Amino acid sequence: MGRTKNTKIRFEGADEDEVAEEVATCSNVDEAIRDESMCDAGNGADADDVTDDITSADYYFDSYSHFGIHEEMLKDVVRTKTYQNVIYQNKFLFKDKIVLDVGAGTGILSLFCAKAGARHVYAVECSHMADMAKEIVETNGFSDVITVLKGKVEEIELPTPKVDVIISEWMGYFLVFENMLETVLYARNKWLVDGGIVLPDKASLYITAIEDSEYKEDKIEFWNKVYGFDMRCIKKKAIMEPLVDTVNQNQIVTDSKLLKTMDISKMSSQEASFTAPFKLVAQRNDYIHALVAYFDVSFTNCHKLMGFSTGPKSRATHWKQTVLYLEDVLTICEGETINGSMTVTPNKKNPRDVDIKLNYSLDGKHCKVSRTQHYKMH
Ligand code: SAH
C-alpha cells in the first residue's frame, strides 16, 4: 500500500513503483496528490472510457474512483446499517422531500432515500465512481427519482434552488481528516431550505489514555537502534504520525472525555478548528503510552435518537481509533489526573491534512511531566 496507508483516502489496486514513475514528473507531487486525492483526476474521461482507461496513476490521485474503498465502507455494517436504519425507520423525514446526497459514492444512501419515499434525490459525486452510481441507479429502476451529478459539490449546478434534506457520510479518520465537512457545510449554506435537516447533525470527538508498551516499542522505540545504528531522527517523525488502529478496551487506563461536539446544522467551517481542554482520571495504577481519540455521530432528528460510536468499547468500524503516542511513559496511580488540551487545525498548506497540538501534564506521586507535542495526519 502507498503512503496513505493509514488513511481513508486510500491507494488501491496499483503498483507502487509504477505510480512513483508516473508521478515523478510532477514538480510538487505532494501538493498534486492532496489537491486531487478526493476527486476527479481531471483527465476528462467520460462514461464510456472510465472503467477501462483509468490508470494506476489516476487511482493514486483519485482513490474513490476504485471500488475497493467503497467495498470497505459498504462492508462496514456499523456505518452503513446505521444510515439504512435512520432512513428506513424515519420515512417521515424523506417522504416527498428533495434530498441532496453529498459525496454519493456508489449511490447507496441515495438508494435508501429513494426507497424511503423521497420525491427526488440529487446524488453528487466527484470521482469516476459517479458513472457506476448512474448505472446502479438505472439497473435498480430508480432513474426517475435519483439524478446522479458527476462533479465537485463546489462546482456543480444543482437543478433545484433548494433541498429539504442533506445526507452525507463525510467523516474521516480522527473525524475531521480529509476535511469533507467543509463540503457539507458549503452545500448546507447554499441549498438547504429554512427548516431543512442535515443527516447526521451531530459529531463528537472524545479522548482517553491507554497502556500500549508493546506497540510503542515496535513502532517508535524500534528506531533507537536498528541493526546497531542510531536512527532516532526517524523516531521523531514516527511519533508525530497518529496511528489509525483498533485499541483493545483492556488497554484503557483512564476515563474518556468529550473534547468537542459539532452541530453540523448550525456550525461555521471555522469551528472545525478548535482548542479543547481535558482532564483524564486514571481508573487503575498503570503506565500510559498514548492518548486515543475517537468520535461518534448522531441523527437527532429521528423519532428516537440514533447514531454510532467509533470508540474502543463499541463494535469496530473502518475508522478504528486514532492513537497519539506520548514521548514520555506516564507512571500513573489510580485517581491521578492528566490535565491537557488539544488543538486541531487543518494544515495551512494542505487543508485536507490535520495538525494536532497536544499539551499534557501529570503531577503524580511517581511521575511529574509537562509537555507539548505536535502531530500531523497526512
Ligand atoms: N455516500 C457514500 C460514499 C461516502 S465516501 C457511502 O456512504 O458509501 C465520500 C464520497 O464523497 C467519496 O466517494 C468522494 O469521492 C466524495 N466526495 C468528496 N468530496 C467531494 C466533493 N467536494 N464533491 C463531490 N464529491 C465528493
**Mind giving me the DSSP string for 214-278?**
HHHHHHTGGGG-BTTB--HHHHHHHHHS-EEE---GGGB-B--EEEEEEETTT--GGGGSEEEEE
Dist. CA 134–CA 160, nearest whole Å:
19
Atom of ligand 1 nearest to the CA of 79: 7
Chain-centroid distance, C-alpha 90 = 25
Whether the pLDDT of residue 46 is over 70: the answer is no
Whether the pLDDT of residue 54 is over 90: the answer is no
Mean pLDDT of all residues belonging to the chain: 88
Whether the pLDDT of residue 74 is over 80: the answer is yes
Residue whose C-alpha is closest to residue 254's, from 299, 198, 301, 208: 208
- pLDDT (tens digit per residue) in 263-287: 999 999 999 999 999 999 999 999 9
Q: Binning pLDDT at 50, 70 and 90, where does residue 1 land?
A: very low
Atom of ligand 1 nearest to the CA of 129: 13
Whether the pLDDT of residue 141 is over 60: the answer is yes
Q: What is the pLDDT of residue 59?
A: 57
Q: Which three cell numbers stand for residue 346?
A: 487543518
Q: Would the CB of 169 count as within 6 Å of ligand 1? A: yes
Dist. CA 285–CA 331, nearest whole Å:
8
Average pLDDT over residues 321-349: 96
CA angle centred on 356, ends 59 and 19, rounded to 5°: 20
Q: What is the pLDDT of residue 5?
A: 35
Q: Which three cell numbers stand for residue 299?
A: 441523527
Q: 9 vs 152, which has greater pLDDT?
A: 152
Q: What is the pLDDT of residue 38?
A: 58
Bridge partners, 206 (sequence order): 258, 294
Q: Would the CB of 125 count as within 6 Å of ligand 1? A: yes
Strand order in the sheet with 354-363: 274-281, 337-346, 354-363, 368-377
Residue corresponding to grid cell 482532564: 279
Average pLDDT over residues 344-364: 94
Q: What is the pLDDT of residue 348?
A: 87
* Catalytic residue (choose from 12, 125, 178, 211): 178
Q: Indicate the top mutation candidate among 7, 12, 34, 39 to test ligand 1's pocket, ranked by most ligand atoms within 8 A of CB.
A: 39
Distance from the alpha carbon of residue 103 to the mean position of ligand 1, in angstroms: 3
Q: Which helix (H) or strand (E) holds 294?
A: strand 286-299
Tell me the residue length of the chain: 378
Whether the pLDDT of residue 81 is over 90: the answer is yes
Atom of ligand 1 nearest to the CA of 168: 1
- Protein residue with least CA distance to atom 17, ligand 1: 103
CA-CA distances (angstroms) from residue 209 to 122, 165, 320, 360?
Answer: 42, 38, 15, 11
Q: What is the pLDDT of residue 178?
A: 87
169 in catalytic set? yes
18 in catalytic set? no
